[in-house]
Amino acid sequence: MPHQTQSAAHRAVSALADGARLVAGSQVVPRSERRFSADTANLIAMGGDLAMVIAGLMLGFWLRFESGLIPRTNTWWTTGDNSVITFRDYSGLMAIGAFILFASFLNQHLYRLQNLLRFRRVVRIVVQSSIVWLMAYLGLSLALKFSPPISRIYVILSFLCTLTTVLTWRYFFHRLLRFAPISAALRQRLIFVGWNPEAARLAEVIHADIAQPYEIVGCVPSPNGRYLMAPTRNLKTLGDYQQLPDLLRTQAVDMVVLADLDTRTGEIVGLTNLCERLMIQFKVIPSYFQIMVSGLALETISGVPILGVEELPLDRMHNRLLKRIVDIVGALVGLIGSAPLMLWFGFRIKSEDGGPIFFKQERVGRLGRTFPMYKLRSMKMGAEKSDHLNQSTLREDPRLLKVGTFIRRWNIDEVPQFWNVLKGDMSLVGPRPERLFHSEKLADEIPHYNARYASKPGITGWAQVNGLRGEGDLTERVRYDLFYLENWSLWLDFQILTMTLISRKNAY
């Protein structure tokens, strides 16, 4: 009888444990026998999230109305009357709040397989969704006449409480999912068909990130029996292409990734049909596209499908407008807030060698247009005459002023660029602008270098906060700049601005 009355949550947890035992007891578990799956994990995650949302809303109610910690007064942030509010009065409002927040989680794709093992991404989505909920709930309290009216301070307390309860629960759930047998049961097993540099890079990323929801089984050659390059040492070669049907079954494969697009069309069709019969995902590494690949999209022209790079986030007018509004506000705040710094360090610069406080230099901006970029002068007079010798400032550069080492270390020399941002030449965040002669040289040496100019350059950028500045790998720096352009969002900009305040790696 107890087994017949067990709850859905108990059954889900049992499935989790059973799945862990299955994976722990055998190297390869047939797909049909995998009781624990992403659906089970997501079911537990959704149930836990909903429970924590309700708990947070109830805790917010208790803090606001029953704890006695916050007196009821006729102020702008209360309901506006002194009547006694009961839990029953607010139950409907809490139900609406829980629905809106949970819908926000769904809209932000919190329950995708790719997010299950990625705690940082979960935190980002939960925080973003909670902020959206806060604005929506406050908006409802102003636009609609609820009875009783929604207390503003209750909304704020509920925001803090639900954020805390959901993230705390998710932290412990993530720790459970990271348990090796369970995480192995969550990962999709994939096989590469063919091998090329892009496949090698994908395999490297998967091996390096334990939060990736994929496990590489190995690879087989393309249908013509070849590899475009030798597979890496840590990759298992599984045999000939003719053995692939048996391998897909015996190795419990979830995904086939084709890395050799030189394969004949008929053979690709045969491979896709095989995957379809076995209900296995079929993916292609688009090696013809070496740049902006995350923006690839399939579209149709009069019913004919074509694959190409769609517009970048900052190609859309509304995104550029949002970014420009943030830039203007940030530049004004930055100029006002940094005025004392510029006065003090300007005095130090002037005292050290008597030269000008500011330094102006032509840099390349959006779409290749040049503009004068301003900095606090950190080097001795005439130092720019040897700029052509090095792309970046050297560590312990002899041209630096004594005060220059400090202001470069703490990015204080970049403060006057708030004026460039206000003028519209630059943005708060973006790829760093380069001098024209270095830009022309690097464009010939580094593939896709000029693609950086698809957006305005920034005071700080994704490459810089990851330590890619100074004498670092320029090719890697470009790769980070392109990642930023492909994945731009206001949230990413705010993250980079925050990291800029604490990141000092390779700052000199």
**HSE-up (13 A, CA, CB side) for residue 226:** 9
Pick from 254, 250, 284: which is nearest to 188 by CA? 254
Tally of structural domains, the chain: 3
In a domain, 455, yes or no: yes
Same domain, 330 and 388: yes
φ/ψ of 195, rounded to 5, equals: -155, 135
For 84-97, the pLDDT digits (tens) are: 677 888 888 888 88
Pick from 126, 106, 102: which is nearest to 174 by CA? 126
The pLDDT value given to residue 1:
37
For 360-392, the pLDDT digits (tens) are: 889 999 888 899 999 998 887 766 665 555 545
The pLDDT value given to residue 284:
86
Hunting for tokens 């607010």 — which residue is that? 90
Query: Which domain CATH number covers 241?
Result: 3.40.50.720
Same domain, 15 and 40: yes
Last residue of one domain, picked from the residues 243, 272, 288 = 288
In a domain, 24, yes or no: yes
In a domain, 507, yes or no: no
From CA 486, how far away is CA 205, in angstroms rounded?
18
Alpha helices in 386-489 (DSSP H): 402-409, 417-423, 436-445, 462-465, 474-486
Predicted structure pTM score: 0.60
- DSSP annotation of 32 reads G
Same domain, 177 and 192: no
pLDDT average, residue stretch 243-253: 89
Bridge partners of residue 255, in order along the sequence: 190, 281
For 174-197, the pLDDT digits (tens) are: 988 888 677 777 788 899 998 888
Same domain, 237 and 140: no
pLDDT average, residue stretch 472-486: 84
Same domain, 271 and 324: no
Pairing of strands 304-309, 296-301: antiparallel
Residue 325 has pLDDT above 60, yes or no: yes
The pLDDT value given to residue 441:
82
In a domain, 2, yes or no: no
pLDDT band at 75 (very low <50, low <70, confident <90, very high): very low
In a domain, 302, yes or no: no
Last residue of one domain, picked from the residues 155, 181, 207 = 181
Same domain, 491 and 476: yes
For 108-141, the pLDDT digits (tens) are: 889 887 788 889 889 989 998 999 888 888 777 6
φ/ψ of 218, rounded to 5, equals: 160, -160
Neighbour tally for 191: CB within 10 Å:
21
Same domain, 86 and 152: yes
Tokens (6 digits) for 144:
């609609």
74 or 443: whose pLDDT is higher? Answer: 443
Same domain, 173 and 206: no
Question: CA 134, 138, 143, 144 torsion: positive or negative?
Answer: positive
Same domain, 70 and 159: yes
Same domain, 416 and 467: yes
In a domain, 470, yes or no: yes
Same domain, 345 and 264: no
Range of the domain at 275: 187-288
In a domain, 229, yes or no: yes
Same domain, 279 and 329: no
Tokens (6 digits) for 281:
């995902």
In a domain, 498, yes or no: yes
